[in-house]
A and B are shown apart, each in its own frame.
Chain A
């Protein structure tokens, strides 16, 4: 762990205030936890680089030959490239759903934070109560409602429920109250701008860092939702990658070779990991807001 040797410049004098023993204990505890968190991902990474078919051989913890490119091309060939179709579906469902959802949350949150109207508290209370109901409970009735109106095997059946995010509204309300000063809105009105124009040109840019957070959380939320797409989409060309991979896994290596599930699992989580690492400062900001309440 070389990073540990670099002195922590953010707290001058920290070295003098802590003993070797306390630093050693702290670091070893943190290291043990990190090994636990990264161990399965390490196994996945190692397995994917092994030649095809050797994924489950050896102890699984160290590299053994190189087959990454062959593995990716096997994954691409399986069922006429259905895997990439699934990836595209996932990105579309999550991208469109999170984008539309963030916009709706931003408008509703801004409304709740900046305007006074009858029923405001009741509306906010309802949204909060919805956060507290396990979301999976909505899946069954939604499935039946969608069957009733012929929305089965229609991307809208996944998109429409994904767009609504009570938690997003809750966060947007906090962020709007924090980052948009009333004076700025007032100034816009004096200039004769309409309420929506003020929102679009003044408030929205001010809320932008917060909105990236909401987008990111909702994106992951939709990507995570397995039961809804599994129930409403039976056509495998419409399914997101999570549903597709579980389907492959359920074939027990008969229809689809088991190593492909391993390879697909890694490829499917790469975009999420990249997004999280690249957007670190945004999700940390969002969680700070959640912690402060």
Chain B
């Protein structure tokens, strides 16, 4: 189990960490049972039905509608009609400066925020795992608490931190003559990034820290016997050992960036125009819905989903090269 030997509350953790030992990779899964249709439907049916209705159906619905075009008559008196023109909305999306700008903005956000957040999370996890750390339970809980705050609430709280009238941060900086313009055009994306980083760093840190706990004590002991320093062990033993957690958290963070909506939407009313109504791809799609053009919103969503899918896939492929697991 974990390397911390005594932990009275560890039972649940042990059940979770145990399988590695209990079921070595080579074990045959011969006892799994072939089953009748009735049992299959009993266990899997309820989930399958809801999954089809709430995941597959919307996906098909969005994909199909993206292939149609909304046509309005000149005066707007007759109700708009839909015509099948598969490429029209996609052509429009790739010529839409607002939408492309939103995609680029979120791309920039991901390129900067994801490595920064995961770098800090990895650093904190290594610090917490080091022999020099004390009061681990306190630090672990402190880092994780922001995750318990819903994204919308976190954005509301930070909007008070940023507000030009009451910002406690600028209050603190006042004696230094510094004032951070949180809603300036160049700064607002990073104000949003800060909220996301605040919410998710601890969550990612705990995942990486949990993976660090599964490194066998003998391996670390051996490295120390060889005279490796703490930094050297962290770099050459610990980080390679948590590689799969880093890949996992990276993919989930990329997906998270693509979904960016709550934080900028909450900040928008007080941003003084710095956050436009098409700030992120999801906001852009929302704007298309508000304008009554659902097929165009669907097309934007499809472009976003495909982009994320391709990126995740490429990332998995790149990182799994040379890995035998």
List chain A positions with a Cβ less than 8 A from chain B: 1, 3-4, 6, 8-11, 14, 17-18, 22-23, 25-27, 29-30, 33-34, 36-38, 40-41, 43-44, 47, 55-57, 59-61, 104-105, 107-108, 110-111, 114-117, 123, 127, 130, 132-138, 140-142, 144-145, 160-161, 163-164, 166, 169, 174-175, 177-179, 182-183, 185-186, 195-196, 199, 209-210, 212-213, 220, 223-224, 226-227, 242, 245-246, 249-250, 252, 261-262, 265, 268-269, 272-273, 275-277, 280-282, 284-293
Among residues of A, the one whose C-beta sits closest to the C-beta of B257 is: A134
Set B16, B34, B61: member contacting A288, Cβ < 8 A? B16
In the complex, how many residues of chain B place their beta carbon closer than 8 angstroms to a beta carbon of chain A?
A: 118
B160, A43: Cβ atoms under 8 Å? yes
A contact patch SS:
helix
B contact patch SS:
helix
Residues on B with C-beta less than 8 A from A289 are 16-17
Question: Are A104 and B46 CB-contacts (below 8 A) given A249-B269, A287-B207, A291-B208?
Answer: yes
A281, B294: Cβ atoms under 8 Å? no
B135, A6: Cβ atoms under 8 Å? yes
Point out which of B40, B158, B166 has the most chain A C-beta atoms below 10 A from its C-beta: B166
Whether B153 sits at the interface, judged by CB under 8 Å, is yes
Residues on A with C-beta less than 8 A from B308 are 132-134
Question: Are A43 and B161 CB-contacts (below 8 A) given A3-B138, A27-B133, A134-B305?
Answer: yes
- Residues 135-152 of B, flagged 1 when their CB comes within 8 A of A and 0 if not, give 110110111111111111
Residues on A with C-beta less than 8 A from B44 are 107-108, 111, 123
Q: Cα distance A232–B266 when bound, in Å?
A: 18
A277, B161: Cβ atoms under 8 Å? no
Set B47, B163, B294: member contacting A107, Cβ < 8 A? B47
Stretch binding the partner chain, chosen from B85-93, B180-188, B210-218:
B210-218
Residues on A with C-beta less than 8 A from B9 are 280-281
Set A57, A61, A104, A223: member contacting B172, Cβ < 8 A? A61
Q: Cα distance A285–B201 when bound, in Å?
A: 18
A265, B156: Cβ atoms under 8 Å? yes
Set A37, A56, A160: member contacting B142, Cβ < 8 A? A37
Sort A-B residue pairs by CB-CB distance and give the 10 closest, nearest first. Answer: A141-B58, A60-B168, A56-B166, A178-B19, A285-B12, A291-B211, A182-B31, A111-B43, A108-B47, A209-B12
Question: Are A136 and B259 CB-contacts (below 8 A) given A27-B134, A177-B19, A272-B150?
Answer: yes
Question: Are A141 and B213 CB-contacts (below 8 A) given A37-B198, A182-B32?
Answer: no
Q: A284-B12, A292-B20 are in contact. List 5 more A-B contacts (CB 8 A).
A: A61-B171, A226-B265, A246-B156, A272-B150, A289-B16
Set B5, B139, B142, B168: member contacting A59, Cβ < 8 A? B168
Name the distance in Å between B144's Cβ and chain A's nearest Cβ: 7
B106-149 CB contacts (< 8 Å) to partner A: 120, 123-124, 127-128, 130-136, 138-139, 141-149
Whether B157 sits at the interface, judged by CB under 8 Å, is yes
Residues on B with C-beta less than 8 A from A186 are 31
Q: Cα distance A292–B142 when bound, in Å?
A: 23
Whether B104 sits at the interface, judged by CB under 8 Å, is no
B275-323 CB contacts (< 8 Å) to partner A: 282, 285-286, 289, 294, 297-298, 301, 304-305, 308-309, 312
Name the distance in Å between A49's Cβ and chain B's nearest Cβ: 15
B1-59 CB contacts (< 8 Å) to partner A: 4-7, 9-13, 15-20, 22-23, 31-35, 39-40, 42-44, 46-48, 50-51, 53-55, 57-59
Set B40, B53, B301: member contacting A140, Cβ < 8 A? B301
Among residues of A, the one whose C-beta sits closest to the C-beta of B163 is: A56
Residues on A with C-beta less than 8 A from B147 are 220, 276
Name the distance in Å between A207's Cβ and chain B's nearest Cβ: 9
Name the distance in Å between A145's Cβ and chain B's nearest Cβ: 6
Residues on B with C-beta less than 8 A from A137 are 62, 259, 282, 301, 304-305
Residues on B with C-beta less than 8 A from A224 are 150-152, 262
B133, A292: Cβ atoms under 8 Å? no
B198, A36: Cβ atoms under 8 Å? yes
Name the distance in Å between B176's Cβ and chain A's nearest Cβ: 14
A116, B33: Cβ atoms under 8 Å? yes
